[in-house]
Amino acid sequence: MADITKIALFAGGILCGTAGLKLLKSKEAKKVYAHTTAAALRVKECVMTDVTKVREGCGDIMAEAKEINEKKSASDVAEVIEDERE
């Protein structure tokens, strides 16, 4: 009895697998794949746009930080020169 159950389950698995493959290859399934891929590409484009905006913002912040450090460095040098003159 156990052998018949195992054989039946195996045969059922093969039938389901075969039906699944036919379903995956159908025109309707291909349309679903195409629409899903198109949606994924749109999401990617939106994400890349946002990433570009963030990078530009970070670049602006870095430029301002470098300016601040240059001004600070220049004022520190000026203070050292004034201290040496005194």
Q: How confident is the model at residue 79 (pLDDT cuts 50, 70, 90)?
A: low
pLDDT for the residue 1:
62
Give the rounded percent of residues in the chain with a pLDDT score beyond 90.
42
Residue 3 clears pLDDT 90, i.e. is over it: no
**Radius of gyration over alpha carbons of the chain, in Å?**
34
Spell out a b/e string for 52-70, using b for 16 or more CB atoms within 10 Å of the CB, else e.
eeeeeeeeeeeeeeeeeee
Over residues 21-50, mean pLDDT: 89
Hey, what are 8's tokens?
């039946």
Question: Residue 86 and residue 83: Cα distance in Å, rounded?
Answer: 5
Over residues 54-60, mean pLDDT: 93
Based on the structure, what is the number of domains in the chain? 1
Q: Residue 62: which domain range?
A: 2-85
